[in-house]
Structure 1
């Protein structure tokens, strides 16, 4: 079946199934400007763009050529139909074979609740030009027993590093005055000048919103020990600290996610008015994190963010968990997007 209601949508369906094989049919339809008939024949050629594509000054004309090659490698053929001024539909079929589902071994869930005793104190510096981002990390770290300080730019970070000697720095890469990479370089230069002192080397973990792998080399080349992409889960965050400082945590076992059980039940979805009223009272940084996690289909992080909702708002927590259990991340995206400030 084709998808016709959304601006851009994709719908796979099994059109014929036997015990060992099936055919999957895909359609992708948009409601854009359409493609002129005379451009259809050259649409899948490398480095060819439609008139609309050339005017937008985006892309290279390789996307559809690569798409066709992928479909061919899977044994299919992609076709296109378009009405100028209305939109375009791409279709292809591929053959698939049944496979035995692997056994899923449940991973025990546990949460860091503190530091084991008799380990000394650990000083952590959080550097970010956005106050809300710093606050989230501080609230995550201080209850665990860490000593935490903040800096809002690279220059301030270097000054705090000089006077306070943190064991580890979480460094945002993009900041005014002096960015995170410049601050990291400055600290490494000063450490080299002080190499004969008893001062230990500070661990620096960069925090970046960039999804490009090329940034990894650039970040590590400046002297960072590691980097974490935003948004990140609490589990990843604490694991990085454990890995580099060699500390030991106290853990609390969590109940297995109720997602599977909930998905087996019928779910009564709350109204938009309920969600909007409840979500309006939640902090903007949390809303933005929830939106980003849902938009990236990161179920684990969405689950973790829902767990952060106070007990006083249990109905909201349960309703969001129902949406997650029913794979309705699209609803979470829509609701949170409508409530986020532009700031």
Structure 2
């Protein structure tokens, strides 16, 4: 299969193309935007190579860039033998728990909205920060129980913010800090732990992974849909509907 992705952005200088796929290297336009960590293309290329292909790029300053890649695929004989396990979902917080304060620190507004969308319906108190400096201020004043900490934020990055928040929690229980990252290599994992983060969650993540890691590191407990009355019948009804639609 052949894929092409083209944009009309600022473009990439010829001298930067040779280092474009190196870890933690950013183009001048990427540095000016103060977004990302220089890992996205490295990870993307590795995935493509694992599928038997490679990524190429053509770019012109002021006009944009064109990325192309090919992957090797096979035509499936039939989808009839595929069994999809239903995703685990949280139904509610277990009763009798206190009000938990959760801080979402991420410079991406869409990322903050996504996390808040999972948290707010369950009754968590939520505050947001778009950089590490604001995250430290909120943590000092509001004392959150848990912080989702993006590592590549501007002004003060997530590594430094996590260290300073933990160091400043004198006389009180420090918040649990979960690092949000696009990919964790061996060296980066050691860096995350050394920065006083309690754990990490790779982007993109599944809803169940989000809540599993919360239960692992805090006293928060959830009621999962699979444990609620009538769940088995609901799954059976959904299968009947799916089978009926497939037969049309």
TM superposition score category, shorter chain reference:
0.5 to 0.7
- Are 1:200 and 2:173 matched, yes or no? yes
- Are 1:220 and 2:193 matched, yes or no? yes
Larger RCO, structures 1/2 (Cα 8 Å, 6+ apart):
2
| 1:113 aligned counterpart, secondary structure | strand
Shift of 1:112: 0.6
Aligned to 1:112: 90
Shift of 1:163: 0.4
Distance 1:214 1:118, change over 3 A: same
Aligned to 2:210: 237
Shift of 1:116: 1.4
- Check the 8 A contact 1:203/1:224 in 2, yes or no: yes
Aligned to 2:79: none
Distance 1:56 1:121, change over 3 A: closer
Q: Deviations over 1:313-334 (max 9, x none)?
A: xxxxxxxxxxxxxxxxxxxxxx
- Check the 8 A contact 1:126/1:150 in 2, yes or no: yes
Distance 1:133 1:123, change over 3 A: same
Q: Deviations over 1:103-129 (max 9, x none)?
A: xx9967542121112111111100001
| 2:204 aligned counterpart, secondary structure | coil
- Check the 8 A contact 1:108/1:256 in 2, yes or no: no
| 2:136 aligned counterpart, secondary structure | helix
Q: Deviations over 1:237-263 (max 9, x none)?
A: 01111111122212223527979x969
Aligned to 2:124: 146
Count of matched residue positions in the alignment of Structure 1 and Structure 2: 169
After superposing on structure 2, the runs of 4+ consecutive aligned residues of structure 1 that deviate more than 3 Å are: 55-59, 105-110, 256-259, 265-268
d(CA) in 1 for partners of 2:215, 2:196: 20
Aligned to 1:246: 219
The answer for unaligned runs of 5 or more in structure 1 is 1-5, 9-54, 60-104, 269-343
Q: TM-score, normalised by structure 2?
A: 0.59
Shift of 1:136: 1.0
The structure with the larger Rg is: 1
- Check the 8 A contact 2:87/2:208 in 1, yes or no: no
| 1:241 aligned counterpart, secondary structure | helix
Superposed CA RMSD: 3.4
| 1:188 aligned counterpart, secondary structure | helix
Distance 1:251 1:225, change over 3 A: same
d(CA) in 1 for partners of 2:114, 2:216: 21
Instruction: Select the residue among 179, 183, 187 that pairs with 2:161.
Output: 183
d(CA) in 2 for partners of 1:153, 1:244: 24
d(CA) in 2 for partners of 1:236, 1:157: 23
| 1:124 aligned counterpart, secondary structure | strand
| 1:238 aligned counterpart, secondary structure | helix
Shift of 1:130: 1.1
Distance 1:243 1:267, change over 3 A: same
- Check the 8 A contact 1:184/1:222 in 2, yes or no: yes
d(CA) in 2 for partners of 1:228, 1:144: 20
- Are 1:134 and 2:112 matched, yes or no? yes
The answer for unaligned runs of 5 or more in structure 2 is 4-16, 23-82
